[in-house]
Amino acid sequence: MALTHMEIPFGGGRTLILESGKLAKQANAAVTATVGGTSVLATVCMAQKPKEDAEFFPLMVEYTEKTYAAGRIPGGFFKREGRPTQKEVLTARLIDRPIRPLFPEGFYYDVVVSCTVLSSDDETEPDIIALIAASTALHISDIPYEGPVGVVRIGLVNDAFVVNPTYEQETQSLLDLVVVGLADGIVMIEGEATQLSEAKITEALQFAFDQLQPSREIQNEFRKKIGKPKADVELYLPPAGLKDKVAGLTINQLNKIYQIANKEERETALRKLLDEVIKDLSVFDGFKINDKDVTANHIKMILDQVEYEVVREMIFKKGIRADGRKLQDIRQITSEINVLPRTHGSSLFTRGQTQSLAVVTLGTKRDEQLIESLEGVSYQNFMLHYNFPPFSVGEARATRGPGRREIGHGALAAKALKAVLPTKDEFPYTIRVVSEILESNGSSSMASVCAGSLSLMAAGVPIKETVAGISIGLVSKNKDYRLLTDIMGSEDHFGDMDFKIAGTPQGVTAIQLDLKIKGVPLNILIQGVEQAKSARTIILNNMQSVIAKPVAELSKYAPRILTTQVPQEKIGEVIGPGGKTIKKIIEATGVESIDIDDDGKVFIASTSSEAAEKALAYVKGLVQEPEVGKIYDAKVVKVTNFGAFVEFMPGRQGLVHVSELASSYVKDVASIVKVGDEFKVKLTEIDQMKRLNLSKKQAEQAEVP
């Protein structure tokens, strides 16, 4: 294949360049996308045969940021890239979510999409470039992909929307919104905002939809030039007669089962029904799927399709959901705080059968998370970790480490809360929130937002507003549709959309859209945004009835952090050679830690307020300049025959000459003072050699009325 090259404007005077035909030619297709000095290679590969007994489309998306792309060598012992970073996982999900619905129904071939950042400048974020490259590679390949999708990132700087902002613009932006779409609808949304109004979010979505189209259209032009014919693949499509047979055996029971409000009882009844249907497969003799006999796994998948139709028909015809709610009803909500006795802050948020236990831990500067990325090394003082143990859905299996879903849900909840957090200057703590999902039946990530907000206020973190979140679902048929507030698990599974929106009474802080269908018109999403606002208000009222603002006092188990600023030229004096001075202060005062930034900001942490204040006074004393004529408290550190050396400021020593020890003649210094004695002294002189001379007798005379 000859090298093919096309380009379009990318925003900010930059150009997006797509190339194919030079790299990775043994893949089904490979595309390099470049903007400025940032270049991403996307390759796509498909297995030769469908996966045996697959129950879902086995798509794998991988995204890797090579450190050589930014001219750096990886840290750590092995000096090579290791397990995916959180950013790599989240970017892989960003690519996976919009392309997954765009494959044919019944397509069960393994497909692997690999995106590798080969070069990175200090201007352009590579995630959007990777998504464009991946969609283009799929589109020109022989893989049956029903795209392409266009994508754009929208920022808001100085009240103006910015298309694909640079790194620098992102730091000034009040909005970070990624929108992926087709010609007639939106496929995926991912974003965070600083309490922007629903009207502004709607305006941003409309703007983004128009701006993403060029990146979609260039892919069509690219395919016209070098696109391969789509492969003739084998789809898992059971014959209509088999589905009718399964429906005939189960439809009456399913209609009754989906009137059971309790999730556990409903799932028990469904398992029992499946067992009854598959106990004798001879009733399906004569039916074939892809020239193979029907198996129990086939029947399970077909029964799922029949359930799909039953659940949706109930919603369309009756306006009633499986648990008896109407379409815009929210399940019962309870909010509690301080549910754990020894943590720094805790809460329990329950919405129906979804429950999040959120726990806050306050740490010091040294607890910040080190992040190595293409942009460089940074430190993060806010973390939200989401855990989804198997028992939350009644499953008997071992708990493993967090997967992509857990990392993604935690990142979304963190975005929702980040907008209301205090600055480091306002609250110099490292904050960790952990959401333990104890029960799950729909939108546990939004429950994590609610529980996280409650726990932060219970911990005394001065957040600006209460934050809550809700998920809006969709059931569509032709041009008819129904929006569902507060979707539960079955509605997520059988529905078309999971539209999560979190925010405060003032506006939106996070937004995420995932679809199972090939795009949703913008007008439906705008209606969903408004419906989410109404639901969020109800949830916020419930939360604020329990705690309306952060408590004034931190937990007695949380560290107390005091801060002060020292001149940069004095940092060395505070630290001391090899950290000797800091170690001395910690030992003398009993504080847990003392940390100093490069700009001279000092952080003193201790569970004892008294110890922290003592250390603070010590640090301040180290950088203060001694003043001639001022009286100080001093402590004798050495006695000589010509006087006593005393420490009168932290780290500062001077001489009280024998003639200045007392008003009368002193024959023997040791007869007047000894090491450890404490008394007041007056600084009388700083001589040309910077020696500090003090007087005990003048200090005593000054105190005489």
The answer to whether the CB of 420 falls within 8 A of the CB of 463 is: yes
The torsion region of residue 173 among left (phi > 0), alpha (psi -120 to 50) and beta comes to beta
| Distance, C-alpha 522 to centroid of its chain | 26
CATH architecture assigned to 240-318: Orthogonal Bundle (1.10)
Which of 128-132, 415-419, 435-439, 636-640 is the least confident region?
A: 636-640
At 176, is the secondary structure helix, strand, or coil? strand
Model-level pTM? 0.89
**In this structure, CATH architecture of domain 333-479+518-546:** 2-Layer Sandwich (3.30)
In the chain, count H helices and then E strands: 16, 31
Q: Provide the pLDDT for residue 426.
A: 93
pLDDT tens for residues 176-223? 999 999 999 999 999 999 999 999 999 999 999 999 999 999 999 999
Predicted pLDDT of residue 298: 87
pLDDT-derived band at 74, boundaries 50, 70, 90: confident
The per-residue pLDDT for 1 is 60
The reply to whether omega before 148 is within 30° of 0 (cis) is yes
Helix (H, G, I), strand (E, B) or coil at 289: strand
Contacts of 290 (CB under 8 A, 6+ apart): 234, 236
Task: Determine whether domain 4-152+203-226 maps to CATH 3.40.50.150.
Answer: no
Write down how long the chain is. Answer: 705
User: Quick one: tokens of 15?
Assistant: 């150009």
Domain boundaries, the chain: 4-152+203-226, 240-318, 333-479+518-546, 560-622, 631-703
pLDDT in tens, 82-105: 889 999 999 999 999 999 999 999
CB within 8 Å of 602: residues ≥ 6 apart: 563, 564, 565, 566, 574, 594, 595, 596, 619
* CB contact at 8 A, 215 and 222: no
| Average pLDDT value for the chain | 93
Kindly indicate the confidence band of residue 705, based on its pLDDT and cuts at 50, 70 and 90.
low
Q: Which CATH topology does 631-703 take?
A: OB fold (Dihydrolipoamide Acetyltransferase, E2P) (2.40.50)
Q: What is the pLDDT of residues 395-428, one digit of tens each?
A: 888 888 899 999 999 999 999 999 999 998 899 9
Question: Is 292 a residue whose pLDDT tops 90?
Answer: no
Tokens found for residue 406: 């857990």
CA distance 113 to 63: 8
Q: What is the pLDDT of residues 646-688, one digit of tens each?
A: 998 877 899 999 999 988 888 888 888 999 999 999 999 988 8
- CATH, range 560-622: 3.30.1370.10
- Here the tokens at position 248 are 């005939």
Instruction: Work out the angle between the directed axes of helices 522-546 and 444-459 (0-180°, nearest 10).
Output: 40
Alpha helices, H only, 123-258: 126-140, 167-172, 198-211, 213-226, 240-257
Q: How far is CA 353 from CA 103, 122, 199, 488, in A?
A: 33, 46, 32, 9
Q: Hey, is 317 helix, strand or coil?
A: helix
Contact assessment for residue 546 and residue 454, using Cβ atoms and an 8 Å cutoff: yes
Residue (of 484, 549, 537, 485) closest to 507 by Cα position: 537
Task: Answer for the pair 437, 399: CB distance below 8 angstroms, yes or no.
Answer: no
pLDDT, residue 573, reads: 84
Identity at 448, one-letter amino acid code:
S
Q: Residue 621 burial (CB < 10 Å; 0-12/13-18/19+)?
A: middle
Within this chain, domains 240-318 and 631-703 share the same CATH topology = no
